[in-house]
Amino acid sequence: MSNASIRWVWALAFSAVLALAAGCASETGKPAPPPAAQQPSAPPSNAASEDLAVKLPPGAARPPAPFPGQGWQAMFDGQTLAGWRETPFAGRGELLCQQGVIILNMGDPFTGINWTNDFPRLNYEIALDAMRLMGSDFFCGLTVPVGTNCCSLIVGGWGGSLMGISSVNGMDASENETTKFTSFEAGRWYRIRLRVTENRIEAWIDEEKLVDLDTADRRIAVRPGDIELSQPLGVAAWQTSTALREIKYRRVRGPADKAP
């Protein structure tokens, strides 16, 4: 190959190298494409919680009655179950807190809640509003301490109309001196109030006093069975859906007719 041909080949190679370098420089000099705009995330869906909610009857909107006397302390904040836990009944229904009320959905047979904080054993009064939503048995089984023992105030049991203390001398609410029968409407709030003092248990439905039991020389205990899980303080319903609100208590010095 002649010297002229060699110089021509080198010239072509050098031109190719320059072109490649120019191309690389132009590519690296290109600005990076702007990042894709970030789409706002969708708000969390409330469909699940709405599906669980229970439709309350019109009577649930009725405002609560005032509490008699002074010194009442709230046990339910109207928004959460703080201070309460689910009673571990077998076959229990779902427990909900909505619209300022606690819902005990129907169990097979029990659904209930237990108070987890300190509570007096004597000389106190406890009150709450309870409403039967569905079912025909007791919509409020209020189990409370009585000194070293416990008992239950049964409201709406044995077919829906019985009220009484269970148990007294081994006899439950259907067969002792506290047994009463009254009509309890579904979808209506009832103010249930129970007072436990030395040698006496008193109970009211709304303003009517239905239990006035002298407990001296009487054996007070919870009826044997699942309801024992409600001890020392709990609220339960039997094959019934229940709404609860306005749960409060206060310390007292003696029976209602003797208190200063």
Q: Which domains does the chain have, with CATH numbers?
A: 71-251 (2.60.120.560)
The tokens of 4 are what? Answer: 């002229």
Strands (E), 99-227: 101-104, 110-115, 124-135, 140-146, 149-157, 162-166, 180-181, 190-197, 200-205, 208-214
Alpha-carbon distance values, 20 to 15, 31, 52, 153 (Å)? 9, 19, 68, 95
Whole-angstrom CA distances from 27 to 14, 19, 244 are 20, 13, 73
Question: For 170, phi and psi rounded to 5 degrees?
Answer: 80, 0
What pTM value is reported for the model?
A: 0.80
Q: What pLDDT does residue 119 have?
A: 98
Q: What is the DSSP letter of 159?
A: T
What is d(CA 75, CA 82) in angstroms, rounded to the nearest whole number? Answer: 9
131, HSE (Cβ side, Cα atoms, 13 Å): 20
Q: State the pLDDT at residue 53.
A: 84
Block means of pLDDT (10 residues each) for the chain, 260 residues, are: 42 40 37 39 36 86 95 97 98 96 98 98 98 96 98 95 97 97 96 98 97 97 97 98 98 82
Q: What is the pLDDT of residue 51?
A: 55
